[in-house]
Amino acid sequence: MGHIYIKDIQFAAESKIEDGILYVSEEAVKAVALEDEKIKSVSFDIAKPGESVRITPVKDVIEPRVKVEGRGGIFPGVIAKVDTVGEGKTYALKGMAVVTAGKIVGFQEGIIDMTGPGADYTPFSKTLNLVMVCEPVDGIKQHDYEKAVRFAGFRVAVYLGELARELTPDETKVYETCTIKEGMEKYPNLPRVAYVQMLQSQGLLHDTYVYGVDAKKIVPTIMSPTEVMDGAIVSGNCVSACDKNPTYVHLNNPVVHDMFEQHGKTFNFVCHIITNENVYLADKQRSSDWTAKLCKMLDLDGVIVSQEGFGNPDTDLIMNCKKIEAEGVKTVIITDEYAGRDGKSQSLADSDPAADAVVTGGNANQVIILPKLDKVIGTLDYVTKIAGASEETLREDGSLEVELQVLTGATNETGFNKLSAR
């Protein structure tokens, strides 16, 4: 991974990266976004850390990347042709992101505040954000609008990533991926540990895509942890802002990166196992059975399991934990909590004595006051309708009284914010 650090974003006549500054041609990125006829119009704006800016409703956040060596391209099966990725050399524009926003798709979309108390709860208050506000054509169905905006964001991110193809990275990091046999031979005395990632796949705008395939249609499978760094997994869901993993999070999955930091030192990072979160009991049973089976077949000593979403997926989380533990594999689960505004409610919809090692992302029901900011990118028209808000959210002085779940990444269960173990 080659990191190219972006220090500023500016609009210019020509798109280029020079001396750490990303110059963006509005005309060029608009043309890229409007390649889909379902998008009627698009406007671009820039939001920088510390500015009195609020972005809403946020749909996805994407980090621009370009694959310069190796098989495949960025976002295989979505933008690039289907090919197995995760090896070779990839460059990423660090310190910035493409943020998609616009007319609301579903009630579970979020807010990014670039300053104030809300900024403390979202990692995207710390990135330079190129925000694209998309307006759909009249009469479009919600799922078609969501897809159109999602793909437009990916196209713009790939366009910007291509600007770095001939650059020299500011920093290079190398990630080692071994075969099962190689890992056992190289690290014979280290515990064998894997990452089990639960992907949101409940449908009705609650989707995640793996190589372009809806995760509802997959069975648990094994991946190289580096595949996500090339965009093998992308977001397509509109669950509560604090619960969904934007594509940026998949690209920079902190569980993967933290496990690589310990690989070859405290444990052997064997593989990345992905599973889904479906709504029918039979699907939950099948996926958790397969996940536990894979953990046993790989002769793992331990796994870390992360959840996306809440409520219904809590059942999948506990099923996975209980069944993996029953195979003799030690399990740590990463989740968020919905413990009520007073923190006294049951924080998960399901539980089991086997879930005795938990990392919490915090209570999403915690109430916070977001002060009025000078500028809104997008619209506040739907701010009382998004999950975590109410009819009383918009106060007379322009401030917002909301639950933390409205902030994109607020209690992100994959670890961007400080987590506490219990």
- pLDDT digits 0-9 by tens, 311-330: 888 999 999 999 999 999 99
Question: Residue 112 domain-assigned?
Answer: yes
Tokens of 217: 């249609």
Q: φ and ψ at 109, to 5 degrees?
A: -125, 165
Question: Residue 342 domain-assigned?
Answer: yes
Question: Residue 420 domain-assigned?
Answer: no
Q: Tell me which amino acid residue 307 is.
A: Q
Q: Do residues 411 and 241 make contact, with C-beta atoms less than 8 angstroms apart?
A: no
Q: What is the pLDDT of residues 83-105, one digit of tens each?
A: 999 999 999 999 999 999 988 77
Q: What pLDDT is stored for residue 418 in this prediction?
A: 36
Task: Give CA–CA dist 266/255, Å, rounded.
Answer: 15
Q: Tell me which amino acid residue 90 is.
A: T
CB atoms within 10 A of CB 201: 28
Strand spans (E) along 248-301: 268-277
Q: What pLDDT is stored for residue 117 in this prediction?
A: 95
Q: What is the pLDDT of residues 131-187, one digit of tens each?
A: 999 999 999 888 888 899 999 999 999 999 999 999 999 999 999 999 999 999 999
Question: Residue 268 domain-assigned?
Answer: yes
User: pTM of this prediction?
Assistant: 0.94
Q: φ and ψ at 102, to 5 degrees?
A: 145, -170
SS3 category, 64:
coil
Question: Residue 213 domain-assigned?
Answer: yes
Q: What pLDDT is stored for residue 142 in this prediction?
A: 84
* pLDDT for residue 107 is more than 70: no
Question: Which structural domain, as residue segments, surrounds residue 271?
Answer: 2-172+181-406
SS3 category, 3:
strand
Domains in the chain, number: 1
Please state at what angle helix 142-162 crosses helix 26-33, rounded to 10 degrees.
140
Q: Do residues 130 and 28 make contact, with C-beta atoms less than 8 angstroms apart?
A: no
Asked if omega into 57 is within 30° of 0 (cis), the reply is yes
Is residue 69 classed exposed, middle or buried when 0-12, 13-18 and 19+ CB atoms within 10 A define those classes?
exposed
Q: How confident is the model at residue 126 (pLDDT cuts 50, 70, 90)?
A: very high
Q: What pLDDT is stored for residue 205 in this prediction?
A: 79
Question: Residue 415 domain-assigned?
Answer: no
Task: Give CA–CA dist 397/240, Å, rounded.
Answer: 26
Residues 6+ apart with CB under 8 A from 198: 275, 276, 277, 305, 306, 307, 308, 313, 316, 317, 320
The residues carrying an active-site annotation are 238
* pLDDT for residue 414 is more than 70: no
Q: What pLDDT is stored for residue 382 in this prediction?
A: 86
Question: Residue 399 domain-assigned?
Answer: yes
In this prediction, residues 58-78 reach a mean pLDDT of: 97
Question: Residue 113 domain-assigned?
Answer: yes
Task: Give CA–CA dist 43/362, Å, rounded.
Answer: 35
* pLDDT for residue 292 is more than 90: yes
Task: Give CA–CA dist 385/148, Å, rounded.
Answer: 22
